[in-house]
Structure 1
Amino acid sequence: MTHHILKATKSTVHLGGFSHELEPALKVDSGDTVDVETYTGYYIHDKAPAEFLTAQFLDICQNLPPERKIAKGPHLLTGPIYVRDAEPGDVLEVRLEAIAPSLPVGFNAIRSGWGALPHQFTQPALRFIPLDLVNNKAEFPIGSSIQIPLKPFFGILGVATPEDARSSVPPGYYGGNIDNRELQAGSRIFLPIFVPGALFSIGDGHSAQGDGEVNVTAIETSMNGRIQLQLRKDLQFNTPIAETPTDIITMGFAPTLDAALEQALKNMLDFLERFVNLSPEDAYVLCSLAVNFRITQVVNSPNKGVHGLLSKAIFSSKINL
C-alpha cells in the first residue's frame, strides 16, 4: 500500500464535469491512500476576499488549460484518479478517512432560476461566510450569534462513464454531485465502475449544509481530505451505496422527489434482500418500520435526491460490505 499526495493544480483539476477522455491526475493501486486537495469558487474568485484565495487557486482560475474544462457545471474537481486493474462491472470503495476545510472562509450563492423557490428569490446573491476553524463553527448571519456547527463533507464523489462529457451538476448512477451531508469522515461510499481505471474525481467541499440544500449552495469550501481507494471485485452495484459509522445509506436520483424516493426505497429493498437475507415483503415492511428517508437535495437539476438511512444498531450481528 502506497500513500500519495495529490495537490490541486491546473494540471490535476478539471472544471464542470466528468469525462473518460481526461488524462488522469494520479494513478494508484487498490488499497492506496491519498491526501487530496480541492478548491471551490472558480467562477466567483474575482469577487472573493483575500483569505479565500491562494496563489495556487488563482493560477488555476487564470490558467486552467482548455482540455481541463469539461462541461458547463460550476464545480472544480480534483482528479481523475486512475485505479489500476479496475474494470467495468467492478465497484470502487472510497473510504473517507479525514475531511477538513483548508481556508477560514466559504461562500453561499443564490443563483437566478435555481433553488427550491426560484420565483420568489429571483436576484442573485453572493455571501462569504467566515469559518471558525478552532471552534468548528460558523456564525450566520454575521453578528446574529447564530452558531452553525461545521460538519464538512465532499459534495461530489464520482466516476467517469463511457458517455461524452457529463455535467457536474446532477447526481446519478455514477455518483457525482450527491450533496449528502451524512458522508463525513469515517464514512465510505461504494461506486459502480463503468470505464477502465474508474477515473474517480472529488470536490465541491461543504462545511455545513441542511438536507435539501434549498437555495442551491451550502457553505461552499475549499477542502482537504484523506481517502483510501479499494477495488472491490467481490461486489456488484449499479448505483451508489454508502455506510457511515451508524447507518447504511441507499440513494435515489430522479427528476421528481416521488421518483427519487421510489429509487432509494427499491435500492434499500435490494440491499436487505442481498445482505440481510430478508424476503422482499419482509424488507418492505422493515423499511416502513425502521428506515428513515430524507431529502438529500432538490436543486441539482435535472435530478433531485432522496436517501434512506438504515440504522446498523437494530441488527444483532454486523452487516458485511
Structure 2
Amino acid sequence: MTHHILKATKDTVHLGGFSHVLTPALTVNSGDTIEVETYSGYYVYEQAPPEFMTPEFLDICKNLPPERKIAGGPHLLTGPIYVRDAKPGDVLEVELNAIAPSLPVGFNAIRSGWGALPEKFPQPALRFIPLDLTNNIAEFPTASGIKIPLKPFFGILGVATPDASRNSIPPGAYGGNIDNRELQPGSRLFLPIFVPGALFSIGDGHAAQGDGEVNVTAIETSMNGTIKLKLRQGWNLTTPIAETPTDIITMGFGETLDAALELALKNMIEFLERFADLSPEDAYVLCSLAVNFRITQVVNSPQKGVHGMLPKSIFSQKISLSSHIS
C-alpha cells in the first residue's frame, strides 16, 4: 500500500460535473491512502474575504483550463482518481479517515429559484461565516450567542459514468452530491463502478449542515481529508450504501421525497435480506420498528435524498459490510 498526497491545483481539479474523458489527477492501487485537498467557492471568490483565498485557489479560479470545466454545476472537485484494475461491476469502498476545514471561514448562499422555499426567499444572498477551528464551532448570526458545532464532511463523493458530461448537482447511483452529514471520519461509503478505473472525485466541503440542507447550501468551505480507496468484488451493488461506527445507511434519490423514501426503504430491505438473512416481510417489519429514515437533502434538483439508518447495536452478532464482501 502506498500513501499519496493530492494537492488541489488547476491541473488536478475539475468544475461543475463528472466525466470519464477527464485526464486522471492521480493513479492509485486498491488499498492506497490519499491525503486530498479540496477547494470550494469557485463562483464566489471575487466576493470572498482575504482569509478565504489562498494563492493556489486564486490560480485555480483565474486559470482553470477549459477542458476541466465539465458542466454547469457550481462544485469544484479534486480528481478524478484512477484506481488500477477497477472495472464496471466492481464496488469502490471509500474509507474516510480524516476530514478537516483548511480555512477559518466558510460561506452560505441562497440561490434564486432554489431551496425548499424559493417563493418565500426569492432573492440571492451570500454570507461568509467565520469558523472557530480551535473550539470547533461557528457562531451564527455573528454575536448572537448561537454556536453551531462543526461536523465537517465532504458533500460530494462520486465516480464517473459513461456520460462525458454529467452535472455535479444531482446525486445518483454513482454517488456524487450526496450531502449526507453522517459520512464523518470513521465511515465507509460503497459505490458501484461504471467505467474502468472508477474515476473517483471528491469535494464540496461542508463544515456544518442540517438534515435537508434547506436553503441550498451548508457552511461551504475548503476541506482537506485522508481517504483509503479499496476495490470490492462479488457484490452486485446498484446504489450507494454506507457504514458508520454505529449504523448501516441505505440511500434513496428521487424527484420527490416519497420516491426517495421508497427507494431507501427498498435498499434497506435488500440489505437485511442479504446480510442479516431475513425474509422480505421480516425485513420490512424491522424497518418499521428500528430503522430511522431521515431527509438527506431537498435541494439538489431534480433529485431529493432520503437515507435510512439501521443501528448495528440491535444485532447480537457483529454486522459489517466490509466483513461480508471480498
TM-score normalised by length of structure 2: 0.98
Measured in 2, the distance between the counterparts of 1:134 and 1:186 equals 21
Query: What residue number does 1:144 align with?
Result: 144
Measured in 2, the distance between the counterparts of 1:214 and 1:63 equals 33
Shift of 1:216: 0.1
Shift of 1:236: 2.3
Letter in 1 for 2:121: F
* 1:110 lines up with 2:114 in the alignment: no
Letter in 2 for 1:225: G
Letter in 2 for 1:266: K
* 1:307 lines up with 2:304 in the alignment: no
The 3-state SS of whatever aligns with 1:220 is coil
Letter in 1 for 2:228: Q
Query: What residue number does 1:97 align with?
Result: 97
The 3-state SS of whatever aligns with 1:87 is coil
Measured in 1, the distance between the counterparts of 2:236 and 2:51 equals 44
Letter in 1 for 2:138: A
Query: What residue number does 1:47 align with?
Result: 47
Measured in 2, the distance between the counterparts of 1:295 and 1:164 equals 30
Could you give the per-residue CA deviations for residues 75-114 of structure 1, whole angstroms, max 9, x where no partner exists? Answer: 0000000000000000000000000000000000000000
Query: What residue number does 1:2 align with?
Result: 2
Shift of 1:234: 3.2
**Match runs of 1:1-321 below 5 Å:** 1-321=1-321
The 3-state SS of whatever aligns with 1:170 is coil
List 4+ stretches of structure 1 deviating above 6 A: none
The 3-state SS of whatever aligns with 1:43 is coil
Letter in 1 for 2:253: F
Could you give the per-residue CA deviations for residues 242-281 of structure 1, whole angstroms, max 9, x where no partner exists? Answer: 0011000000000000000000000000000000000000
The 3-state SS of whatever aligns with 2:114 is coil
Is there any run of 5+ residues in structure 1 with no aligned partner, and where? none
TM-score normalised by length of structure 1: 1.00
Q: How many residues align?
A: 321
Could you give the per-residue CA deviations for residues 174-220 of structure 1, whole angstroms, max 9, x where no partner exists? Answer: 00000000001110100000000000000000000000000000000
Measured in 1, the distance between the counterparts of 2:33 and 2:235 equals 21
Measured in 1, the distance between the counterparts of 2:127 and 2:298 equals 21
Residues 243 and 320 in structure 2, CA contact (< 8 A), matched pair in contact too? no
Once superposed, what is the RMSD of the aligned Cα atoms?
Answer: 0.5
Measured in 2, the distance between the counterparts of 1:213 and 1:258 equals 17
Query: What residue number does 2:324 align with?
Result: none
Shift of 1:320: 3.1
Measured in 1, the distance between the counterparts of 2:104 and 2:236 equals 40
Percent identity for Structure 1 against Structure 2: 81
The 3-state SS of whatever aligns with 1:198 is coil
Measured in 1, the distance between the counterparts of 2:274 and 2:103 equals 43
Measured in 2, the distance between the counterparts of 1:185 and 1:62 equals 32
Shift of 1:62: 0.1
Measured in 2, the distance between the counterparts of 1:164 and 1:283 equals 39
Measured in 1, the distance between the counterparts of 2:161 and 2:132 equals 38
Shift of 1:166: 0.3
Residues 30 and 230 in structure 2, CA contact (< 8 A), matched pair in contact too? yes
Measured in 2, the distance between the counterparts of 1:301 and 1:34 equals 31
Measured in 1, the distance between the counterparts of 2:298 and 2:24 equals 31
